Amino acid sequence: MTEPKHLRYPRRQFVRNLLRLAGRAVGALAMRTQVIGRENLPTKGPLILVGNHIAVVEVGLMATYTPYNLEIMAAGDIPLDPRYQWMADLWGIIPIKRGSMDRDGMNKALDVLNQGGVVGLFPEGGIWETTLRQARQGVAWLSNKGQAPVVPIGFGGIEGALAQIARFRRPRLTMNIGKPIPPVQVDVPGKSRKELLQQGADYIMDRISELIPEDERRIRTQPYIGETFDFKWELTSPDGVAIAIPAEVEIVDKHGLSKLFHRPVMMDVFNRNLKLPVRPLVRLRRAHSPLEIAASVHAILTWLSDNPYFFHYRFGHEEGEAMMRGLRQLQHSAQWLGEHYPSAMLRLKPIRRYILLDTNQEVIEDAPAEMQEM
């Protein structure tokens, strides 16, 4: 008896063809896109398309400028950004619960490959960093299980492209399609399956990196050195007089808490995707009531209690634990300050220091630019 399929391929052909045509029409008006290496695209599957990922634009380019009824694997552990949810709903995605082995999502993708279909994914697993990250093993697992070649794609000009489009400027984008990589093999003597899967994923990520425009690849590989984090805050009376904060409520895990704030995609997820009441934590140029800050942090910690590895998946166990501890300390301290100074205002100042490689200049930030006026 044939095992039932989790997802039949192809699907939504009429809708997807319309969306691809509309995407090309809008793309021609809103941006200048150069597609290189179309001849490297096989005529049929099974096939996996992979690319670098820092914004939603790459997803649109991959779906629009390749000739396949593409099944796109996307985040399923959190709601998608409401600005783009409608597009995902129209196209139809394969949601993946990141941070765990999502067998349902992976089996759906594998079913597509077993039916000769084409799957699109982004091996870095998310957009919380602007630098290139290590690939997740899922892409290698799929390639091996489905015996599917992998076509690497390097996207360029993506950062800031949506902002330019919103200002009616036409950004220059590139989509550089590389030669297919043979299916990942995991039967090498003397090496574990896990080691070989990670090697396969890293090899795929290296091929993607080679296809990113050179100037952007250099910036994304190592744009800065010596990144450090600190955390400060200012408590003031209603008439603007500074109030000394007692030592017993100072933040201890300053590094983890500050790094969390300086990865603004994280706060954007809490604010925009999850719709948590975190406005005091994203408008860092303004002072807020300590109790408002405490309530915002409490909302995040409540959600994290059901998703305890949210930070760990993205930043590793040690950094994830430091971020969790920093949030707990911030909630406790802000609550204490609000109760003892009910009319005072508190401004958070997460400090980030780093040295730009291009200019050897030291940069000090006390709030990410993306969060200064959110």
Write the pLDDT tens digit of every residue in 168-223. Answer: 889 899 999 999 999 999 888 888 888 899 999 999 999 999 999 887 776 655 66
Residues 6 or more apart in contact with residue 106 via CB below 8 angstroms: 96, 138, 141, 142
Q: Cβ–Cβ contacts within 10 Å for residue 346, how many?
A: 24
47: amino acid identity, one letter: L
User: Whole-structure pTM over 0.85, yes or no?
Assistant: no
131: amino acid identity, one letter: T
Question: What does the pLDDT read at residue 101?
Answer: 58
Q: Distance (Å, rounded) from C-alpha 348 to C-alpha 351?
A: 10
283-306 mean pLDDT: 95
Give the range among 102-106, 167-171, 247-251 with minimum mean pLDDT: 102-106
pLDDT tens track for 212-223: 988 777 665 566
Domains located in the chain, CATH noted: 13-219 (3.40.1130.10), 224-371 (no CATH)
Q: Distance (Å, rounded) from C-alpha 154 to C-alpha 161?
A: 16
